[in-house]
Structure 1
Amino acid sequence: MTSSSTSTTSTSTCVGYARVSTREQNPDPLHDALTADGCTKISTDHASDTLAHRPALTEALGYLRPGDTLVVTKLDRLSRSVKNLKDLTAQLDAARVGLRAISQGIDTTTPGGRLFFHMLAAIAEFEHDLVAERTREDLAAARARGRRGGGVVKMTATKAAQARLMYDAGGHTVAQIAETFGASRTTIYRHLEES
């Protein structure tokens, strides 16, 4: 994506971006929606759980020119964090590129769309901060009562005995045992040591 001091080009392009979370997931419905919205080019990332490694998004951003619009079906297809979404939007704004999220009715090429987007981003950031604050308070309260923070998986005496049998049989790794019981490896190790 290149920024230019020249005026916006007279012919703008809608570039679609799609992301599916697994290689087996069919991107066709996303492509159909983007094509119906007027996208002449669509870039698709597959199974990209990390925000850093998205080659198709990099390709789409490199293709965009001032006056163009990046189109997604929903904002969560573009980003999984409020901070990353704000960074991407700032990058698009600097390059004079619009952003449209079809199903959410967001279009930053219009004043109302820009206002709606920034309101949504502010609410999402506020909600994230509230959750983080509540988590910190809960962990502090738990520590004050002598408990460690973190999720707790209940390993009953029966499950612990089964885990011990699996471990002693030698056919399973601790990681496989942990996955079987939906527990962490640390939890399994602790129960193995106790038994």
Structure 2
Amino acid sequence: MIIGYARVSTADQSLDLQMDALNKAGCERIYTEKASGGKDDRIELARVLDTLREGDTLVVYKLDRLARSTKKLIEVADLLDELGAELVSINDNMDTKTPIGKAMFRMIGVIAELERDMIRERTKAGLEAARARGRKGGRPKTDARKLDHAVRLYEAKSHSVREITELTGVSKGSLYRELDRRKEGAQ
């Protein structure tokens, strides 16, 4: 059986491109997931790996949809070897049914991990450079007066939360955190 796996990192990203490619590759069943590739507890990936049997082929659009670290890719490769299943990565033009495909699988995994580490290193260096120039990271603090005004509007029940956020400029998350904080303080 040819089984597909598609993943995007956030809920607002689309699976359409991957789904089209997996359908074109002849996948009989496709598992989809909206979860970070860095997480090891991806439910649908676990289901895919439990479903695979000897002779099956797991198809992904790109290897980074399957795993973000060489370690995880190798774990998946070892599991597929144990099961007698193969792996095809459409965009990486890789098929583990061939010796070259198996070698390419491991090399691409190393390169993907290197790329991720380099991005992390550049981000860290950029944040350190900004701090050295006196800039702080993170979100700006919410103005206490605006927050207090938003809470009063909320408690008056005269406006919807959406209207309150538009009127005050206080985000919905900040409003709810402040309401929780005040509720805990009152108890």
Give the TM-score normalised by the residue count of structure 1: 0.57
Q: Is the alpha carbon distance of 1:42 and 1:80 closer, same or farther for their aligned partners in structure 2, counting shifts above 3 Å?
A: farther
Q: Distance in 2 between matches of 1:29 and 1:142?
A: 37
AA paired with 1:121?
G
Task: Report the alpha carbon displacement of residue 86 of structure 1 after superposing the two structures with TM.
Answer: 3.2
Q: 1:42, CA displacement in angstroms?
A: 0.8
The 5 Å alignment of 1:33-44 reads 33-39=21-27, 41-44=28-31
Q: Which runs of 5+ in 1 are unaligned?
A: 1-12, 190-195
**Structure number with higher helix proportion:** 2
Q: Which amino acid aligns with 1:130?
A: M
Aligned residues: 164
**CA apart distance, 1:100:** 0.5
> Partners of 2:103 and 2:125 in 1: how far apart?
33
Superposed counterparts of 1:52-71, under 5 Å? 52-55=41-44, 57-71=45-59
Q: Confirm or deny that 1:126 pairs with 2:118.
A: no
Out of 142, 146, 151, the position equivalent to 2:137 is 151
The one-letter code sitting in structure 2 at the alignment partner of 1:166 is A
The secondary structure found in structure 1 opposite 2:138 is: coil
Query: CA deviation digits over 1:6-65, x for unaligned, max 9?
Result: xxxxxxx322223466789876764553343233x313234445541424x334323322
Instruction: Identify which of 57, 80, 84 aligns with 1:92.
Output: 80
DSSP-derived class of the 2:111 partner: helix
- Aligned-pair CA distance for 1:133: 4.6
Distance 1:94 1:110 in 2: 16
SS at match of 1:151: coil
Q: Is the 8 A contact 2:69 2:112 kept in 1?
A: no
Contact 1:19 1:46 in 2 (8 A): yes
Give the match's secondary structure for 2:171: helix
